[in-house]
Structure 1
C-alpha cells in the first residue's frame, strides 16, 4: 500500500488496519478481483482508470492491489 502525497511510503496491512484516522482506500484491482473480496471501505478504481480519480487533498489516500505492483504504478500516476 502506498500513502500518496508523502513520497509513496509503503505500509503493512496491519498498520493500515490500526490507523483509525480518516482515509481513502483505493483498490486498483480489476472489478472481478475486487468482487472476490476487498477491504470494506475501499473504492474500486482499476489501474487503467486511476488517472480519473479526483479526491480531497487533505485526506490521506492509500492504494492497494494484490501484490503491490499495480498500487505502485497507480501511486506514480496519482
Structure 2
C-alpha cells in the first residue's frame, strides 16, 4: 500500500522554514549549485545510511525533504515512512522554490557540476549521436541510438530515470565521506 506524502508548496514552506529540518536529497553537485537555506545534503541513494540520524532529527522537529522537482523528495518521504519516520516533501522542489522568487544558498567559490537533468541530456544525446555515427561503418551500432531513445520514452512514461540513477553513482556526484559523516553527526544532535 503506497501513501502520498504530506506536501508543502514553496510559499507555505517559506513561511514555516524555521519549523523544519531541511534535507536535500539531490546529488552533492546539484546541492552545491543552489539549495534552500539551512538544508542538509543527504543524497537519495545514501538515505538508508542516514535513517538513524533522520529518526533522531525527527524526534526534535519536522523533516522537510527537498529535491529539484519533488519526485525524489516524495520517494524519500515514502522510504522514511516505511522506517516509521514522518516527513514532508516540497512540491515542485528547488525549481518551484526559485521560480517563486525565494533565494537559494550557494556556497562561495564552490565548483558545482552540471545539474543532473543536464548530465542526462548530455549523456543521452552523446550516446545517440555515437550510435548513429558508428552505424555508418557498422550498422548494428545504430541499436545504441534505438536503446537510448527507448530508454527516454520509458523514462517519460514511468517518471523515473535509470540514466540519472547511473550518473548519480559517478564520483563527482557522490558526497565526500567526511561531508556525509558531518551531516549525520549534526542531525544526530
- Give the TM bin, normalised by the shorter chain: 0.7 to 0.9
Which of 49, 60, 63 is equivalent to 2:62? Answer: 60
Which of 44, 47, 53 is equivalent to 2:41? Answer: 44
1:1-78 equivalent positions in 2, closer than 5 A: 8-19=5-16, 21-53=18-50, 54=53, 55-56=56-57, 57-78=59-80
Aligned to 2:179: none
RMSD: 1.5
Secondary structure at 1:29's aligned position in 2?
coil
Q: Could you say if the C-alpha distance between residues 20 and 62 of structure 1 is closer, same or farther in structure 2, counting changes exceeding 3 Å?
A: closer
Higher relative contact order (CA 8 A, sep 6+): 1
The structure carrying a bigger strand percent of its residues is 1
Instruction: Count the aligned residue pairs.
Output: 72
Runs of 4+ that moved beyond 6 A:
none
2: CA distance between counterparts of 1:13 and 1:51? 26
The structure carrying a bigger helix percent of its residues is 2
State the structure with more CA Rg: 2
Structure 1 residue runs without a partner (length 5+): 1-6
